[in-house]
Structure 1
Amino acid sequence: METERSESAAHVLLLPFPAQGHITPMLSFAQLLGHAGIHVTFLNTEHNHRLLTQRHALSARFPTLHFESLPDGLPPDCPRSIPPIIDMVSSLRSVTKPLLRDLLITLTKKDEESYGSTSTRRPPLSCFIMDEIMCFAIDVAEKVGVPAMAFTIISGCGYWSYSCIPNLIQQGHVPFTDEDMDKQTSDIPGMEGLLRRRDLPGFCRFSIDHPVTKIFMEVIKAITRASALIINTFDGLEASILSHIATLFPQVYAIGPVHALVKSRVGDGLSSSASLRQEDRRCMAWLDSKQVGSVIYVSFGSLVELTHDQLFEFWHGLVSCGKQFLWVVRSDMISGEQGEHVIPTELKMGTKERGLIVEWAPQEEVLAHKAVGGFLTQCGWNSILEGIWAGVPMLCWPRLAEQLVTSRWIGEVWRIGIDMKDTCERSMVEKMIRRLMEEGDEREQILRSVERFSELARGAVTEGGSSYNNLDKLIQDLRNF
C-alpha cells in the first residue's frame, strides 16, 4: 500500500520510555503517522537507537519518518535491559531533559536538510507526543511552546486505577496498614466491588515516601497537563473505563490494538523493527511439528526478573503438567545470575521431551500459530493485546505496576484467562496450566470470551471501526496544529 499523501506540514516528535514494552507500540504508532504522510521524529536513547538495527528499513518505507537519539546519562556498564526505574528516571531528568530542550528548539525551526536519496524536509515541529512516564518532558514542551500529548502503553483499567491512587492515599486506604491483601477496595469509580488490595498497582504496597511511589505520583499529576491522551486499547474492550478516563483530558484517542491497526492500514509493517533483542526463530519450526492447541507459550516479557527458586517452581509445574511448552528465558531474567548459569542443566534436561527454551521469540507470530493453545504471561499490555488478537486463553502471573489490575480484569471482567497473581508454587502452576489447557466448561467459556474480543478487535481496526476512526480524527487534529 502506498503512503497516504497530505498537503499538511504536520511534524510530530515521539518520545518513548527507553524499554522494550514502551518502544514497540510507539514505533507502530510512528508507522501509522508516517503512512499518513505526517513527518515523525522518533527519539530514542543512544543505546536503544543502536539496537534498533532495522530503523533504516523503516525510514526507506516511510520517507517522513526520521530517527534521533540522546544519551540516557547512565554509566556505560549499567545494564539497560533491566535498569532500576529510579535510576533510569533520575538520569533522564538530570541528563536527557536539558538536551531534549535543545532538540525541541532546533526542531521548531525550519529544517533545510535532505535525508538520503529523498528531498524530504521536516517542517517545524508542531506537536510533541511523549510516553506517560516521560512526563517531565511536558515542562520542556511548555517552555518551548509546543503542544504536548501523552501516549500510554498500559490498559485503560490500569491507567484509570493509577489516576485514582492519589484519592486512595488521601482517604488513607493506601498504603496498606495491615497484611489483609484480600480486603476489597471500593473507592475507584467503575471498579466497585471488583478490586482487592492485591489487585492494585504494585507501588500501593510501598510507603508514600518510597522513591517509586513518588515517581508514579509525579507522573499521575503531570500527565493531566497534556492536551490529549492516546491509549492503546479499543472501545469494544474498555468502553466503560474509557468514559472515566475521558473526564481527565480534553481529548482521548483509543487507537488499539496499535500493532493490528498497522496491519489494517499499512499492511504487514515492520513490527520486528521494534525488537531490542535477537529473536530465535527456531521456535516456529518447532511449533510446526506440534498438534493444534497443544502448546502453552510462556513469556514474562522484557523486564520481569525471577529468583532461582521461582524458576525451578515454574519448571517443575511445566514439566509435571504434561503439556508441550515453549518458554522464553532471557539471559538477564534470573536475579543475580549471569551467562550460562541462567538456564540450569536440570531445566534443559527436563524440557527435552516436551519443551523448547529460547532467549527471545517473535511473539506475534508465536501467538498466531495454530499449535499454541494457551499463554502464561506477566500481563504486559502489549502481550495481552497480542493474545486477544490471536484468540489465545491466558494464565496471568503479573509482577509489575498496573499488570496486577489488568490480570484481575482478565479473570473477572473479560473472562479470557485465569489470574494466578501472588502464587509461584509448582503444584499450583501445574494445576492452573491444566485448568487453562484441558477440555472442560471453564476452557470453553474462556475460549468463547477471547474469540469474541478478538472479533471486536478486528472490527475496531478495520475501516469504519472505532480505533480506525479515532486514528483518522487524531491525524486530522495533528494536521490542524
Structure 2
Amino acid sequence: MENETKRRGHLVLVPCPLQGHLSPMLHLATLLHSRGFSITIVHTCFNSPNPSNYPPDFNFQPISDGLSDGEEVFNRGLVPFAMELNLNCETPFRDCMTRMLSDDLQNTVVFVIYDSAMYFVHTVANDLKVPTIVLRTSNATSFIAFTILMHKGCLQFEDNDQLDEPVAELPFLRSKDLPRLDTSSTGCTALLHEVMSHTINATKTASALIWNTFDHLESTTLQKVQHDLQVPVFPIGPLHKCSPSSCTSLLAEDRSCIGWLETQAPKSVIYISFGSIATISECELVEMAWGLAASEQHFLWVVRPGSVCGSKWVELLPPEFETKTSARGLVVKWAPQQQVLAHEAIGGFWTHGGWNSTLESICEGIPMLCQPCYGDQRVNARLVSHVWRVGMQLEDRLKREQIEKAIRRLMVGQEGLEMRERAMVLKEKVELSLKKGGLSYQSLEKLTDFLMSP
C-alpha cells in the first residue's frame, strides 16, 4: 500500500464546518484513502473533526477561522457566517498550502478537493497553480435551482400568485420550491448574492465536480450539468454507503435509542429529526407534540438542545405529553441516524429534508414526511413528494390536527404503504449502483483515473 500511496499522490480536502457538509467530505476522504491516495484534511478549528475516528496516516491540518472562541456563530444567520468564514480562512489556508507544497517534495499534491461553500480555496489554489475539484454536498437539481435564482435575481420571495407557477427550466418545481435563505437582516440580500456568486463561480471553474448523488435519482439533471459546465462530473454517491464506516457526527450520539428500537414492532416507529442547525418555535414544538400524541403512533424524536427557541432542551414540552406517550415514545438529544434508519422498527421519517437525511432515508427504503426549513430543502422535498414519490411535503407550519393526519397517512395509510414500496425500489437501485459495474462504482473508477492523471 505504501508504494501505491506514493504512486497515486496526495489529495488535500477542505470541508465546510457544518454537519451536513462535513460528513460527506469526510466519507469521501475515507473512500479515496481506500483507493490508495494519501489524505490531508485542512479544516477550521470551529467544528473540527476528531482525528481518532480516521486512519492513523490521515493528516489533519487546522487553520484559524476567527470563529473558534465559543461564540454562537449562527446567531447572525448562515449567510453572514459563510461570508465571514471565507474572509477569515483565505490567508491561513494560503500559509498552510505554501508550507505543505514546500515540504511535500516526495508526495506531490495532485488536487485540492473542496466544498463549494469554501470558495476562498479556489483563489488560493489558482495562485499556487494546484488544480481543484469541487465537492457538491447537495444534489444536482438544487444547484440548477440556485443558478436559476441568480440568473433571475430573485433571492427574495414575496407572497403572490406566481409562487405556485412551475419553473420553466425545472417544471416539476414551483417558484416557491426554489431555494431560499433568511435575508431578513440588514444587508443580507446583498451578502447572499455575493456568497452565491462566489459559490457558483467556484463550481464552474473547477477541473471537475464530485456529486453526492447517484445517476438513478438525477440522470437528466446530471446530464444538463455536464452539458452546461463542460467539465467531468462524477456522481459517486451516496457517499455514506460507499466509504468505509467512520463516525462523522459533531454531536454526541445517544445510542441507547437502538436498544429501545429493539423492543418495537417492525415498521411501527416514526423517526423525527430536523438536523443539526434548524430551529423551531415553542408553538411549533407544542403542535408537533400533540400531533404525535393524537396519532397514537410509536415515535423516536430527536430534540437537539438549543433547537427550540427560548429553550435548553425539552422543558417547554407540555407535562401531559410525557404521561400520554411514555409507553410508546422516546425523546433523545441526538441519535446515530444512519443506524436508526436502517433498523427494522422504523417505518417513516419526519425530516427537514436536508440532503444527507434524504439520501440516508432513500438508502434504507424509508418513506418521508418533509418539512423544509431553508436552503435546498424545498427542492429536496419536492423531489421526494412529486418526482420520486417516496414521501409527502408538509407545506406550512401545521396545527396538531394536520400533523396527526399526516403521520397516520404515512405510517398506517394505503398511501404510505405505496410510498414505502417505491422507496424500497429506490433502495434496490442504490445497492445496484454501488456494486461493481454499477453506475456509482463506474463513476468512482473514472474519478480515480482522473485523479491519477491531472
| TM > 0.5 | yes
Match of residue 329, structure 2, among 333, 355, 358: 355
Query: Within the alignment, does 1:458 sit opposite 2:431 as a pair?
Result: yes
Q: How far off its partner does 1:83 sit?
A: 6.8
2:422 equivalent among 445, 449, 458:
449
3-state SS of the aligned residue for 2:224? Answer: helix
Query: Cα offset for 1:123?
Result: 1.4
CA contact (8 A) 2:5 2:38 kept: no
For these two proteins, the number of residue pairs brought into alignment is: 451
Q: Which moves more between the two structures, 343-352 or 451-460?
A: 343-352
Which digits, 9 at most, give the CA deviation of each residue in 1:47-94, with x for residues without a partner? 322xx34x224123xx3x211111220261312577732342233223
Task: Specify whether residues 335 and 217 from structure 1 end up closer, same or farther in structure 2 by C-alpha distance, changes over 3 A only.
Answer: farther
Q: Cα deviations across residues 352-407 of structure 1 (Å, max 9, x unaligned)?
A: 12210011101111001111000000111111111111000111001111110110
CA change 1:346–1:129 in 2 (3 A) is farther
The separation in 1 between residues aligned to 2:3 and 2:225, in whole angstroms, is 31
Q: Is the 8 A contact 2:182 2:374 kept in 1?
A: no
Out of 118, 121, 124, the residue aligned to residue 137 of structure 1 is: 121
User: What code does the residue aligned with 1:382 have?
Assistant: N
Where does residue 107 of structure 1 map in the other structure?
100
- How many Å separate the matches in 1 of 2:210 and 2:353? 20
Change (3 A) 1:158 1:91: same
Contact 1:176–1:205 (8 Å) recurs in 2: no
Alignment of 1:284-363 (within 5 A): 284-338=258-312, 341=315, 345-363=319-337
Change (3 A) 1:339 1:438: closer
Matching residue of 1:237: 217
Change (3 A) 1:213 1:101: same
Give 3-state SS (helix, strand or coil) of 2:199's partner.
helix
Give the partner amino acid of 2:267: G
1:218 paired residue number = 198
- Cα deviation for residue 445 of structure 1 reads 2.1
Could you tell me which of 411, 429, 434 is aligned with 1:437?
Answer: 411
Contact preservation (8 Å) 1:110, 1:124:
no
Report the 3-state secondary structure (helix = DSSP H, G, I; strand = E; otherwise coil) of the residue aligned with 2:373. coil
Pair 89,294 (structure 1): closer, same or farther in 2 beyond 3 Å = same
**Superposed, which structure 2 residues align to 1:156-175 within 5 Å?**
156-169=140-153, 175=156
How far has the Cα of 1:245 moved from its partner? 1.1
Change in 2 beyond 3 A, CA 1:208/1:282: closer
Report if the CA contact (8 A) 1:203-1:213 is conserved.
Answer: no
What is aligned with 2:59? Answer: 66
**Cα distance between partner residues in 2 of 1:225 and 1:335:** 40
Give the % identical residues: 33
Contact 2:155 2:193 survives alignment (8 Å): no
| Structure 1 residues 104 and 83: CA distance shift in structure 2, 3 A | farther
Task: State the partner residue of 2:71.
Answer: 78
Matched residues in 2 for 1:199 and 1:435: separation?
23
Q: 1:218 to 1:347 in 2, by over 3 A?
A: farther
* Kept after mapping to 1: 8 A contact 2:289/2:317: no
Partner residue of 2:91 out of 98, 117, 120: 98
Match for residue 260 of structure 1 among 241, 265, 268: 241
Q: Please, which of 405, 409, 420 is the counterpart of residue 394 of structure 2?
A: 420
Contact 2:156 2:180 in 1 (8 A): no
> Shift of the alpha carbon at 1:342?
6.0
Change (3 A) 1:72 1:339: farther
Name the residue aligned to 1:183: 164
- SS of 1:296's partner is strand
Is 1:26 matched with 2:7?
no
Partners of 1:4 and 1:25 in 2: CA distance: 27
Quote how far apart the aligned CAs of 1:212 are.
Answer: 2.8
C-alpha change, 1:45 and 1:352, in structure 2 (3 Å) is: same
Which residue of structure 1 aligns with residue 35 of structure 2? 36
Distance in 2 (CA, whole Å) between partners of 1:359 and 1:4 is 45
What secondary structure is seen at the aligned counterpart in 2 of 1:260? helix
Distance across 2 between alignment mates of 1:3 and 1:359: 42
The answer as to whether partners of 2:87 and 2:120 remain within 8 angstroms in 1 is no
Once residues 278 and 52 of structure 2 are traced to their aligned partners in structure 1, the CA distance between those partners, rounded to angstroms, is: 30
User: For 2:368, which of 394, 408, 412 is the aligned residue?
Assistant: 394
Q: Which amino acid aligns with 2:83?
A: S
Contact 1:199 1:404 in 2 (8 A): yes
Does structure 2 retain, via aligned residues, the 8 Å contact 1:396–1:407?
Answer: yes
Question: In structure 2, how many angstroms separate the alpha carbons of the residues matched to 1:295 and 1:289?
Answer: 11
After TM superposition, the score normalised by the length of structure 2 is 0.93
Q: Which runs of 5+ in 2 are unaligned?
A: none
Distance 1:312 1:8 in 2: 58
Listed one character per residue, the Cα deviations across residues 317-374 of structure 1 (whole Å, up to 9, x for unaligned) are: 1111110000000002012323664656454444312210011101111001111000
Instruction: Name the CA shift for 1:461/1:444 in 2 (closer, same or farther; >3 Å).
Output: same
Letter in structure 1 aligned against 2:340: V
Confirm or deny: 8 A CA contact 1:229 1:249 kept in the other structure: no
Matching residue's letter, 1:302:
S
Cα distance, 1:175 vs. partner?
Answer: 4.1
Range 40-49 or range 368-377, more displaced: 40-49
- In the TM superposition, residue 229 of structure 1 has moved relative to its aligned partner by 1.0
Conservation of the 8 A alpha-carbon contact between 2:83 and 2:195: no
Q: 1:369 to 1:177 in 2, by over 3 A?
A: closer
2:46 counterpart SS class: helix
**Bigger Cα displacement from structure 2, 281-290 vs 160-169:** 160-169
- 2:2 and 2:359 map into 1 onto residues whose CA distance is 26
User: How many angstroms apart in 2 are the aligned matches of 1:462 and 1:330?
Assistant: 35
1:202 to 180, 204, 207: 180
Q: Are positions 1:11 and 2:10 aligned together?
A: yes
Query: Mean alpha-carbon deviation: is it higher for 349-358 or for 234-243?
Result: 349-358
Query: Could you tell me how far apart the structure 2 residues matched to 1:464 and 1:318 are?
Result: 44
Counterpart CA distance in 2 for 1:184 and 1:400 is 20
**Residue 115 of structure 1 corresponds to which residue in structure 2?**
none
| CA distance in 2 between partners of 1:208 and 1:453 (Å) | 39
Taking the aligned partners of 1:358 and 1:208, their CA distance within structure 2 comes to 34
Give the counterpart letter for 2:18 in structure 1. Answer: A
CA distance in 1, matches of 2:4, 2:321: 53
Q: Match for residue 119 of structure 1?
A: none
The CA distance in 2 between the partners of 1:254 and 1:322, in whole Å, is 41
CA 178–310 in structure 1, closer or farther in 2 if over 3 Å, else same: closer
Structure 1: 5+ residue stretches without partners: 113-121
Q: Distance in 1 between matches of 2:354 and 2:230?
A: 24
The farther-off stretch of 408-417 and 178-187 is 178-187
Q: 1:340 to 1:314 in 2, by over 3 A?
A: closer
Could you tell me the TM-score, scaled by structure 1's length? 0.88
